Amino acid sequence: MSVLDDIIAGVAEDLEARRQAVPLKQMRERARAAAPALDAFAALGGNDNPRGELRVIAEVKRSSPSKGALADIADPASLAASYERGGAAVISVLTEQRRFGGSLADFDAVRDVVRIPLLRKDFTVDEYQIWEARAHGADLVLLIVAALDDAQLKDFLALTHELGMNALVETHTQHEVERAVAVGARIIGVNVRNLKTLDVDRSVFAPLADSIPSGALVIAESGVRDAADVEQYAADGANAVLVGEALVRHNDPAATIADFAQTGRKAIAARQMHGKD
């Protein structure tokens, strides 16, 4: 069993317990009563937003399967507020508990204090989780291509759009990029971490980013240690970077976000000057 398979098995078990507590019909009613979702696509540089800016998706992340405990985040809302002050375009909140130490309570705490789009970061394997995300005020959900078959990917993406949300469709291989494009994904993440082994290979980003159509936004996921990594991702075609560990371990995450955005802006300008866009 791969690491991804093991995580999904735990997610499915925890999901069933929540479904028993709040049946799907009731969760749908809560989702429909929630305030309308914010436009994460626009926030990440889509629509008519000015080009040449690198957006940062800043993540509230306590731990990970590869690194173990990362930070003791006693107040996720305060951390998220600092992300917003630093200029984050979107805030990602881990809600998977077993491997990442997250929860929907963390998500709710962050939703109460920030006014920018929120990504509910979890392993989506059932439509219940999409309704649940919307009920809790999510604007964006994660769909991992490696965890879904084509029918699920298509149906889950359609449901997110039906509920007024966007989906970050995560890929790691050329075939997964092709599958994401085939279902009409508009926000495509390239995760340089192989979720089946947890190995990181930053070299996979550039060729996959280059194969994503110009109408979609390209998000670089994982592997950001410092501004040099951000610069390389931006130079290789990223519209945004998703950063967790480098922020939760920094004593001034707001300043780090601002630095990453400025570094990315310069790299994109250089890329455009050399006619690569």
Please tell me the least confidently modeled range out of 49-58, 78-87, 110-119, 255-264: 49-58
Q: Single out the catalytic residue among 61, 132, 194, 239.
A: 61
In this structure, what CATH number is given to the domain that contains residue 132? 3.20.20.70
Domain that holds residue 116: 3-273
State the average pLDDT over residues 249-267. Answer: 90
The whole-model pTM stands at 0.95
Q: What is the pLDDT of residue 66?
A: 77
**Which one of 82, 222, 239, 245 is the catalytic residue?**
222
Q: Is 61 a catalytic residue?
A: yes
pLDDT, position 146: 96
Which one-letter amino acid corresponds to residue 59? E
191 a catalytic residue: yes
pLDDT, tens digit (0-9, with 9 covering 90-100), for 202-247: 999 999 999 999 889 999 999 999 999 999 999 999 999 999 888 9
Q: Is 170 assigned a catalytic role?
A: yes
Give me the catalytic one of 53, 84, 132, 170. Answer: 170
Alpha helices in 34-126 (DSSP H): 40-43, 76-86, 104-111
Residue 222 among the catalytic residues: yes
Dihedral (Cα; 123, 108, 186, 243), 10-degree rounding = -80
CB atoms within 10 A of CB 64: 18
pLDDT in tens, 130-168: 999 999 999 999 999 999 999 999 999 999 999 999 999
Tens of pLDDT, residue by residue over 172-190, are 999 999 999 999 999 999 9
Would you say residue 48 has pLDDT above 60? no
The verdict on whether 47 is a catalytic residue reads: no
Known active-site residue 121: yes
Task: State the pLDDT confidence band at 53, using cuts at 50, 70 and 90.
Answer: confident
What pLDDT does residue 276 have? 62
- Tell me, yes or no, if 239 is annotated catalytic: no
Q: Which of 270, 260, 171 is nearest to 216 (CA)?
A: 171
- Number of independent structural domains in the chain: 1
Rg (CA), the chain: 17
If one counts every other C-beta atom within 10 angstroms of the C-beta of residue 244, the result is 24
With a pLDDT cut of 90, the percent of the chain lying above it is 79
CA 162 vs. chain centroid, Å, equals: 19
The catalytic residue among 82, 191, 194, 239 is 191
Q: Which of 64, 84, 121, 132 is catalytic?
A: 121
Q: Say which of 84, 132, 221, 231 is annotated catalytic.
A: 221
DSSP 8-state code for residue 51: S
Q: Which of 53, 59, 231, 245 is catalytic?
A: 59
Residue 49: the pLDDT is: 46
